[in-house]
Structure 1
């Protein structure tokens, strides 16, 4: 089998120069998330909303509270622990990373059957 004919040095240099002139590939579209400006302390309105509305939610997590009330997740976690201590919400699931709370469901008194 005869040896393959390789490119000359001039051809190799020309190919290298043409390759460097090509546009470089972008790996992402460059989308960025907007920076959040969540509150780190409660004001009167937010605290009132926390005490009135949050115990009515079916599913309560620090992330949900942080998103809806525009507060930090650590502040939401502390507030939920306080609401749980006050028996306004109940702890459903607890792990080292996540805590899931729910509203307290009051059992309805049994109704007497009318005959």
Structure 2
């Protein structure tokens, strides 16, 4: 057997840089998401915005209220029930336990 010549660290580094191989992919354990700081109670300004702006939308869902008013989901569900009680919005289809679809009156 032939004796292998030891390569210097510089030679190994140059060989690695010259090779066409891509770097090895690192596995990510958990994807990070930004923490949403949605409010859990209606203040006066948000409540007024709810009564003024939301009934004018063509499609009203829990997620659309959460996105526009920056409130949490349970508060958005209560807001939809209140708007429906005041006859400001009407349901599009039969109510589903997860997704409530409403439109303007």
TM-score by length of 1: 0.65
How far off its partner does 1:63 sit?
Answer: 0.7
Partner of 1:39: 39
In the aligned structure 2, how far is the partner of 1:27 from the partner of 1:103?
47
Q: Which structure 1 residue ranges, 4+ long, deviate > 6 Å from structure 2?
A: none
Map residues 13-92 of structure 1 onto 2, 5 A cutoff: 25-28=25-28, 31-92=31-92
The alignment's C-alpha RMSD in Å is 2.1
Q: Larger relative contact order (C-alpha < 8 A, sep ≥ 6)?
A: 2
Which runs of 5 or more structure 1 residues have no equivalent in the other structure?
Answer: 1-22, 105-115
Bigger radius of gyration among the two: 1
Secondary structure of the residue aligned to 2:101 is strand
The structure with the greater share of residues assigned to strand is: 1
Q: Residue 51 of structure 1: SS of its match in structure 2?
A: helix
Aligned residues: 82
Match of 2:101 in 1: 100
Q: What is the TM-score when the length of structure 2 is the normalising length? A: 0.71
CA offset at residue 24 of structure 1?
7.3
Gaps of 5+ in 2: 1-22
